[in-house]
Amino acid sequence: MGDGVEMQNVSLTLGGHDFLFDCKLPAAAVIAVTGASGAGKSTFLNLLAGFDVPAQGGIFIAGMNVTREHPAKRPVSLVFQDNNLFAHLDVFTNVGLGVDPGMKLSQSDRLSITAALAKVGLAGFEGRMPATLSGGERQRVAFARALVRKRPVLLLDEPFAALDPGLRNEMAALLLDMHKETANTVIIVSHDPDEVRRIADYAVFIDRGRIAVAAPIGSFLSHEGHPGLRQFLDN
């Protein structure tokens, strides 16, 4: 199946809505997933993460059949809009949980955590608590946690939506820097057409639970055959 991400006739029904996804996404690319609210973007991501399980079809990630795998066993890292930090744990521990949930860390692991925090601009923040951080800093902690996990696929569900425009641009640039270093596959849900233009190599447009368009970014941006996509891009 290669090193990318593939869904083969993946179907499920949630809340009375039917979803059917069939796609093959390139490895080592930044892939934007777009569409109207309720179209199925988060369901698409949840299927890859393992939070939703298909009724039929197969899901393959980095050459592995993960259709029935537990989320923790999938070769993916996750970053959400709310960054999922533990409020009662300091920054170092929040990042360290990405290495080992039991915090059984070697000296090499500890050095990797410190290095990851430095890479995201948080050197010296190890002892800080999440409540003392800005929104952008908390998201940087989540990025550092993803870095230390060293998984081939990074899934992001609108990670910058709660940030102001200037900070969104800054965080998008950081994401691209991380991607250049790791050469992983990045799949990011976004409602922002400018963000899609700025960061994506490849893009997917989901409409009413189906993949309507999936193409390299140049073809995606010039696609004229789907009015919903044109409306999104012209927004």
Cα atoms found within 13 Å of the Cα of residue 84, Cβ hemisphere only: 16
Please report the pLDDT score of residue 99 as a whole number: 87
Please report the pLDDT score of residue 181 as a whole number: 86
Nearest one of 64, 49, 67 to 9, comparing CA atoms = 67
CA-CA distance, 73 to 122, in Å (whole number)?
Answer: 28
Q: pLDDT per residue over 161-181, tens digit each?
A: 877 888 888 888 888 988 998
**pLDDT band of 196, cuts 50, 70, 90:** very high
Task: Give the mean pLDDT of 193-214.
Answer: 94
Nearest one of 48, 71, 57 to 20, comparing CA atoms = 57
CA-CA distance, 215 to 24, in Å (whole number)?
Answer: 10
Q: Is residue 146 pLDDT above 90, yes or no?
A: no
CA-CA distance, 157 to 114, in Å (whole number)?
Answer: 25
In the sheet with 17-25, reading across from the earlier edge strand, the strands are 64-65, 56-61, 5-14, 17-25, 210-216, 202-207, 30-35, 185-189, 153-157, 76-80
Please report the pLDDT score of residue 30 as a whole number: 96
**pLDDT band of 1, cuts 50, 70, 90:** very low
Task: Give the mean pLDDT of 176-191.
Answer: 91
Alpha-carbon distances, residue 63 vs 2, 23, 51, 76, 99 (angstroms): 5, 15, 20, 12, 22
Q: pLDDT per residue over 53-110, tens digit each?
A: 999 999 999 889 999 999 989 999 988 777 678 899 999 999 998 888 888 888 999 9
Residue type at position 95? V
Q: Quick one: what percent of the chain has pLDDT higher than 70?
A: 98
Q: Which domains does the chain have, with CATH numbers?
A: 5-75+151-234 (3.40.50.300), 88-150 (no CATH)
**DSSP class of residue 40?**
S
| Between 136 and 152, residue with greater pLDDT | 152
Please report the pLDDT score of residue 2 as a whole number: 52
